[in-house]
Homo-oligomer: A and B are copies of this chain.
Amino acid sequence: MAECNNGSGQGKLYVVGTGPGAKKHMTLAACAALEEADIIVGYQTYLDLIPEFLAGKEVVASQMMKEVDRSQKALELVAGGKKVAMVSGGDPGIYAMAGLVFEMAREHELSIDIEVIPGIAALNACAARLGAPLMHDFCAISLSDLLTPAALIEKRLEAAASADFVMVIYNPKSKRRTELIEKAREITLKYRSADTPVGIVTAATRDNEKVVLSTLDKFTGQEINMQSCVIIGNSKTFAWQDLLVTPRGYADKYRLKKD
């Protein structure tokens, strides 16, 4: 939605969040941008989730890890006067494609019209699937050490754990990187009890979705992968039925209502 100056008055780049997976969690604005675009650019896995928007469009698909190529291609097409929708799973504004697009537009001194269409991010979707874990202050921390030093990740885990933030862990574990989630567990156990509720949501809202409730001492024994988001409760979070709920602090108020 932020707009750069539009040099040509013609081309436009929509950076579109398509949400966690199921089409029903796309916004009306995201649907409209995909419909309006001449060309749709995206990572093949995300494009596979929205086949109905691709019919009759030029589609530029790319593989994972090709974010830079994809952004460059999208910017070139827009500079050439095209309306382009660059698809991002979740919310392009949260650990996703929006930043790279602006970085590259700045680097190449491009003056084009860019609009970010926010989407339901993994944290929104996973929280909904777990009940209501994010009713109070929380941190989002990615354990991916490809672009961030592990020491900084650990520092952030320590800060978040020590100040009783609910913690939303993105990219918790890859085939190669299996130790940082164990480290996150160890660090958090210094500050929170072993039975602190932890939720693991894998592939939220997709066909292969899996929701697991566990506890801080045991959760790393569960299946966790790069499609998972792990939410560690704060000191007040409780498990109820198959849910994770962090109270906002209304207890005294609603107890009055009970006769």
Contact = CB atoms under 8 A, between A and B. Distances in A.
Interface string A20-37: 001111111101100000
B163 A156 contact: yes
Contacts of A222: none
Interface string A217-259: 0000000000000000000000011110111111101110110
Interface stretch (A38-46, A53-61, A113-121, A173-181): A113-121
A48 interface: no
A193 interface: no
A131 interface: yes
A215 interface: no
Nearest to A153: B137
Contacts of A150: none
Interface residues of A, number: 90
Nearest to A22: B29
The winner among A5, A117, A121 for most chain B CB atoms within 10 A is A121
A148 B132 contact: no
A87 interface: no
B129 A1 contact: yes
